[in-house]
Amino acid sequence: MKIAVAGSVGRDHLMTFPGKFTDSLVAGSLEKVSLSFLVDGLDVRRGGCAANIAFSMGILGLNPILLAAVGKDWVDYEAWLTRHGVVTSHVWVSETLHTAQFMVTTDTELNQIASFFPGAMSEARNIELGPVMQKTGVFDLVVISPDDPEAMLRHTQTCREERIPFAADPSQQMARMSGDEIKKLIDGATYLFMNEYELALAIQKTGWSDAEILERVETRVITLGSAGAKVERRGNSEVRVGVPKEKAKVDPTGVGDSFRSGFIAGVAWGLNDERCAQLGSMIATYVIETKGTQEYRFTRSEFVSRFAESYGKTAASEIEKHIPMLENA
């Protein structure tokens, strides 16, 4: 299955605050907020939504094609992604701007406050799917993850016009997009990925009801945090899966991206919705156990064993043959 992943590539600046953000919020004074948090640590890691999704798909053997805009400072990052199975030959390299930067602080409750500087990502609007597909062949699926808003809209429109299945993952970009723009990103999606807050925001900004949003996509996947995820299709019963027991809760950054990569891997392997969601949850668990979105490691035997512990031997037997033979990938 030929899969393109469009979206951001960035550097993550991960900080930890040894307390609760909510302890610093004063009821009745939220209209004027001026806060500063003294953090315990700073880790600079590889990140970006598209890069995170592509990395996980790459180590699962899918060789995704990354469509993103980066700066000249990405040479070492490119080598890393290529080494882990990602096709980077169609990435746009800016002549003037640096690769995007993501800054996030996480408290003891895993709440997060983040800022994102787009940098070279603003040039993603220069990427066109047509010329890329002339070289690669037509994509079987395009994942449209958070990116320059104009690029997201352009990729979505191209997919509609060319009848290419696409997975809509508007995520944090909905905060700065209008209701009409969000409608364009969602309408006709083969897969729509959101968390509960993002779904509520989409309902608020588009004016569509929950049912109307579901009616406009083929499959809607809603992540539910520690409660797992649910998969919904028009006219079908809802599928719900729980999350595997994690060894530790280290950092939630990139958990949503990794869930998407696991789910889409299941789609590529022809698995049912339940297995796809379980795969996504398993990959997401590995990510939350590590500092950094692309730092987790597993072997095939370990992955299958943990999958069986969480979802049963039958489920594990169905995914085992698809997991590559990895040595601490």
> In angstroms, how far apart are the furthest CA atoms of the chain?
57
Distance CA 20, CA 123 (A): 37
Encoding tokens for residue 260? 């998407």
Let me know: does 252 contact 288? Beta carbons within 8 Å: yes
Among the listed residues 147, 169, 257, 273, the single catalytic one is 257
**Neighbouring C-beta atoms of residue 68, cutoff 10 Å:** 32
Cα 271 from Cα 293, distance rounded (Å):
25
- Please say if 257 is a catalytic residue: yes
Can you tell me the distance from the alpha carbon of 108 to that of 115, in angstroms, rounded to the nearest whole number?
19
- What span, in angstroms and rounded, lies between the C-alpha atoms of 93 and 80? 16
CA distance 110 to 253: 9
Residues that are catalytic:
257
